Amino acid sequence: MAQYLLSVHSVEGEAAPSPSDEEMQRYMEQIHALEDELKSTESWVFGGALHGPDTATVVRVANDEVLTTDGPFAESREHIGGFYIINAEDLDAALAWASKVTAIVGKPIEVRPFRAVSGA
Amino acid sequence: MNGLESAPGLDEAEVGRIFRAEYGRCVATLIRIFGDIDIAEDAVQEAFTVALRKWPAEGLPPNPGGWITTTARNRAIDRLGREARGRELLWEVATRSPGNDDPGRTEEVGPIQDDRLRLLFTCCNPALSTEAQVALTLRLVGGLTTGEVARAFLVAEPTMAQRLVRAKRKIKAARIPYRVPEDHELPVRLPPVMAVVYLVYNAGLSSPTEPSLCSEAIRLARILESLMPDEPEVAGLLALLLLTESRRSSRTMPDGSLVLLAEQYRTQWDRAMIEEGQAIVRRCLRRNQPGSYQIQAAINAVHADAPTVEATDWPQIVALYDQLLAVAPTPVVALNRAIAVGEVHGPADALALVDELNLDNYHLFHAARADLLRRLDRRSEAEAAYARAAALAPTKAEREFLVLGGRASR
């Protein structure tokens, strides 16, 4: 068993027109069903959606001083909109979960293996 | 072992040839046992060194593949046993797969029939880039050295070594599985494996320095066909390669320049390969589950049947291209269909079809147009099309051929 990060990537300014109430409700139902499936198969470790990059703050050490700056770290238009951490037998299994996520959220999912497997 | 009998002709090159033939099977078995590609490769390399010393003096063992696998496995166990991390791994292996795969067992280890198939699917996992898939397949399943793979793709050896290292690191870190996909996954997972084999063949076809890639691709196709006898497209791929290969030596002149299908000496075509390819095509037809490789093989089988260009069953070829266009609706297929239409209905009809295609950057599009324009006696347009084709041609042989075509049309 290994752990994988499934991150949802959004591109600023490429947001689709805001969904109708029914669309939003269907979306939430699908997400909940997927998360239930992750939990019932013991694949779930953690997951969640993030607020936008304009809510981000970066902390770093410069000249032995801790510097706090407003805004996201990466000066890119692409940001992580949310993520799951899952347990999966191998990459094929992780990619199968990622396929389900991308089918629901309509955004690309990056799948990366964790270096250390904890508690597996 | 044959004691101390001399082994005439068993020199280094012959040992190397046997190793290349057995390499994929041995590495695949060891990867299954140890769960690690690097350990498997190093161990087979060590076994090769031992064989180079022993075989020429003692003779070929009765089952060279089994000897290599067993020797490599024992070497790997010895080496792993000397370090703590290795002993841990041996313990993991022993507890994970008790029984037949136990590396502690000393008798000869045999391959499980699916080992090479597992390895092929690992090498061609869609999580790896096509370049990495091709390189890994040639290195691990085909047994080519890193240098040979590098030369085949005109890449510097360190670059190719780096590409292989990166791909193997990803397989390990991301846990790309070592297994044959389930039946329901095959429609997605089998095409990249076939595409890699086809790519290797075409690389051999367009590279006059590495024609061995063609036979390598045929060997891979044979392996795949023997391991997946129920997949008609795999059989179709093998037939396509055999039928294409049957004409390879007559495709070029001794100086490397190209010869058109129409002008090839058909008596030079390899009859044995044609017969084998055609027999596979007939079996595919009986199965009646057509796919793009099978249809392309069938088109080649029709060409191989004809003693001359004029005697070719062109209506049959047009019908097959219609089928191919239905399963693979690409402009290149449409171009080839148009050329066949030209043989049935004449160059004017063909040109009308060709001119509808959006293939302006493809040299064969301009070459086909040039040929049709020449046959319609539209000289200056033909000349311009030949020039455009020559400018776009990817190989020197094709460029020279097209420049000559342009001169001939004057």
* Interface test with chain A among B121, B124, B171, B175, by most A beta carbons within 10 Å: B175
| DSSP assigned state of B105 | -
Q: Three-class SS of residue B145?
A: coil
B216-258, pLDDT tens digit by residue?
A: 899 999 999 998 999 999 999 999 999 999 998 888 877 777 7
Interface of B with A in 97-126 (CB under 8 A): 125
Q: Measure Cα distances from A119 to A87, A108, B262, B285 in Å.
A: 11, 29, 68, 54
- Residue B227 contacts residue B117 (beta carbons within 8 Å): yes
CATH number belonging to the domain at B330-410, selected among 1.20.1280, 1.10.3470, 1.10.10, 1.25.40: 1.25.40
- Residue B187 contacts residue B126 (beta carbons within 8 Å): no
Handedness of CA B10, B12, B13, B16 (dihedral sign): positive
Neighbour tally for B345: CB within 10 Å: 15
Pick out chain B residues at pLDDT < 50.
Answer: 1-5, 98-102, 104-106, 410
ipTM of the complex: 0.84
Is the pTM for the entire model greater than 0.90?
Answer: no
Which CATH fold would you assign to the domain B12-100? Rna Polymerase Sigma Factor; Chain: A (1.10.1740)
Pick out chain A residues at pLDDT < 70.
Answer: 14-16, 117-120
Q: Three-class SS of residue A57?
A: strand
> What pLDDT does B100 receive?
47
Q: Which of B204, B194, B213 is nearest to B133 (CA)?
A: B194
> What pLDDT does B298 receive?
97
> What pLDDT does B18 receive?
87
Q: Which of A87, A83, A97, A106 is nearest to A26 (CA)?
A: A106
- Residue A112 contacts residue A86 (beta carbons within 8 Å): no
> What pLDDT does B193 receive?
95
- Helices then strands, each counted (H, E), chain A: 2, 6
B186 touches chain A (CB under 8 A): no
Q: Show Cβ contacts of residue B128 under 8 Å, excluding neighbours closer than 6 positions.
A: B136, B167, B170, B171, B176
Which CATH fold would you assign to the domain A2-113? Alpha-Beta Plaits (3.30.70)
- Residue A62 contacts residue A116 (beta carbons within 8 Å): no
B318-339, pLDDT tens digit by residue?
A: 999 999 999 999 999 999 999 9
- Residue B216 contacts residue B144 (beta carbons within 8 Å): yes
| DSSP assigned state of A16 | P
Instruction: Give bridge partners of residue A6 from the DSSP assignment.
Output: A84, A111
Q: Which of B338, B331, B329 is nearest to B371 (CA)?
A: B338
> What pLDDT does A120 receive?
45
Q: Do B176 and A95 make contact, defined as CB atoms within 8 angstroms? A: no
For residue B356, count CB atoms less than 10 angstroms from its CB and return exposed for 0-12, middle for 13-18, buried for 19 or more: exposed
Q: Would you state the structure tokens that stand for residue B145, as one six-digit string?
A: 């050295």
> What pLDDT does B401 receive?
83
> What pLDDT does B108 receive?
54
**Interhelix angle B12-34/B84-96, nearest 10 degrees:** 70
For chain B, give percent helix, strand, coil, nearest 5. 70, 0, 30
Domain regions of chain B by residue span: 12-100, 116-228, 234-247+265-312, 330-410
Instruction: Give bridge partners of residue B371 from the DSSP assignment.
Output: none
How far does the CA of residue A69 sit from the closest CA of chain B (Å)?
Answer: 34
